[in-house]
Amino acid sequence: MSTASRRLIIAGNWKMHTDVVDGASLVAEVVECTASLALAADLVLCPPFTHLAVAATQLSRSSISLGAQNMHQAPEGAYTGEVSARMLLTSGCRYVILGHSERRTYFDETNHSVNEKVKSAIAAGLTPILCVGETLQDREAGRTEQVVDEQVRQGLSDTKPESAEDLVLAYEPVWAIGTGRVATPDQADRVHGHLRTVIADMYDDDFASRIRIQYGGSVKPENAGALMSRPHIDGALVGGASLDASSFEAIVRAGLGFDGG
């Protein structure tokens, strides 16, 4: 498998944080402090649904993209409280996070339902950010590769994105999310390398060498540089630290190897 040089993709997953007013301020701050960086890496903000329309207008003059945190698999229908791929697309989203471990844990999402969502997102023209990751119990039992292997194979079953730019993977070990306990660059890179071999097996070597795999789980300015300097780590999916514009900026800088980190 050749080692194509891949452009970093760094996304902020705001989860259920900020109200609409604070969210708009945060978008404005991020736009301002990453203005010179947004050309060197793909930056994505994933605020709550209620913020999307305003954020889309704010981001329209920047090179930062907009993403959502979830969607329903059906194109439309009687699904009270749900949001479709097309609704996200026409709200200005380019990306959608799917299969986040919090969705799997608190909302009973399975590899099967995640797969339905991935197919529907791709069909609508959204780029899924498919999240996979093992629990602490899985890791301690030596099942990390098996778990992420299943999540990727089942999550992407019957899909063939047109190009590797139309799909992003995020490796987020559950034990590292919101815990301050980050995977070491070696631990993360090993799993990313494994994911690339799974993708090569499912699609082909060229696709596998191009697909971008983010790391997520307690990414901070202090650890971002070491993580993103690893050969298989092509960016970050940042939770808590993305709620502060200067931390997000510092993570992007560190990822690009500019300073700090």
The catalytic residues are 100, 172
Closest to ligand 13P by CB, 31 or 129: 129
Residue 188 engages ligand 13P in binding (rule: CB under 6 A): no
Tell me which residue has tokens 């992007």: 252
190, 151 in Cβ contact below 8 A?
no
Binding characters for ligand 13P, 62-101, by CB under 6 A (x = yes): --------------------------------------x-
For 117, how many CA atoms within 13 A lie in the half-sphere containing its CB? 29
229, 190 in Cβ contact below 8 A?
no
Among 23, 240, 255, 261, binds ligand 13P (CB under 6 A): 240
The first and second tokens of residue 161, run together, are 């994105």
Residue 155 engages ligand 13P in binding (rule: CB under 6 A): no
Binding range to ligand 13P, per CB under 6 A, among 19-27, 30-38, 192-200, 232-240:
232-240
Q: How many residues bind ligand 13P (CB under 6 A)?
A: 14
DSSP, collapsed to helix, strand or coil, labels residue 188 as helix
Residue 59 engages ligand 13P in binding (rule: CB under 6 A): no
Nearest to 151 by CA among 204, 208, 110, 201: 110
Among 177, 183, 208, 250, binds ligand 13P (CB under 6 A): 177
Q: How many CB atoms lie under 10 A from the CB of residue 201? A: 13
Among 155, 161, 217, 255, binds ligand 13P (CB under 6 A): 217
